[in-house]
Structure 1
Amino acid sequence: MSTRHEHGSTINALAWLVVHAAQHLDHVQRLFRDEATSLSDTLSRVAGGQAHVNPLGVLQQRGIQLDILAARRADAIEHLDVTVGTYRQAVAADRATPRLQPSHSPAQAAPPPQDRAGHTH
C-alpha cells in the first residue's frame, strides 16, 4: 500500500500510518489471544480440580490484565478504522483533483541565430 504512492506525499504518509496501525493491532491481538488462552488453561485446571484455588481469587491481576488488553484491542481497532477512513478520503480527493497533462504538441525549436542585418547563420 505505502509503495503505491509518491515518496514523501501526504497519501504515502497516510498509507504508512495505516500499515503501522494494522501492525499495532496485530501485536495487541496476539497479546490478548495469548493471555486469554493462558487464562482458559488456568480455569480449566481449576475447574478440573488440577490446580490450587487461591482464596484471594483465581484470576487476581490476570483478569484485570485481560480486560486492559481487551480495551487496548478495541482502541487499536478504532484507530485502524479511522486511519483507513482518512486514507480512503485522501485517495478519493487525490483522484478527483484534475492533473495538468503535459502538452503532446512537438516542442518548437528555437529560431536560428541571426546577425544584426537579419541574416540567418
Structure 2
Amino acid sequence: MTGDFAELIKFMDSIDQFLLAIKTKSLHLGRFLGLLNLLVAYRITDESGQVLSNGLTFKQVSEKLKKNRWNPDDVETLGLKSAELPQRDRLRFWYVAIVRAGVGGSKASMEADTLAKAIKKIGYEAQLPVKN
C-alpha cells in the first residue's frame, strides 16, 4: 500500500469508529442535524489529538452513513419524509437528505455545538476551523 492510500484507509476507519461511538451512546438522538453539521464543518480529533477529519464532503458523509448502516428513520428528525427520498440507492438517499436538511443553518450549528460538548465525554473533540 502506498502511504497516501494507507492514510486514507486509517482516516476512514477512524471516522467509522467515531460514528459507532456516537451511535452506541445515542448522542445523535435529538441532534442528528447537528451531527451532520459537525461531520461537514468541524475538525474532529480523538483523545490522543489525532485528527480524524477536517470536515467531510456531503458525499463522504453519505458514504459513511451508508457504510455504517445508519437508521434511515433519522431523516424524520430533519423534517424529511424517508418515502420521498431515493429508496433503492442508500448513498443517494443520504446525499439528498443532507442537501435538503439545511446543514449550514443556525439550528444545525447550535445542535453541533451541543454535540461537540457531548462527544468530549467519549474521548473526542470537535472544533470549528480557525478562519484567517
Task: With the length of structure 2 as denominator, give the TM-score of the two structures.
Answer: 0.24
Higher relative contact order (CA 8 A, sep 6+): 2
- Compare the two structures and name the one with the higher strand fraction: 2
**TM-score after normalising by structure 1:** 0.26
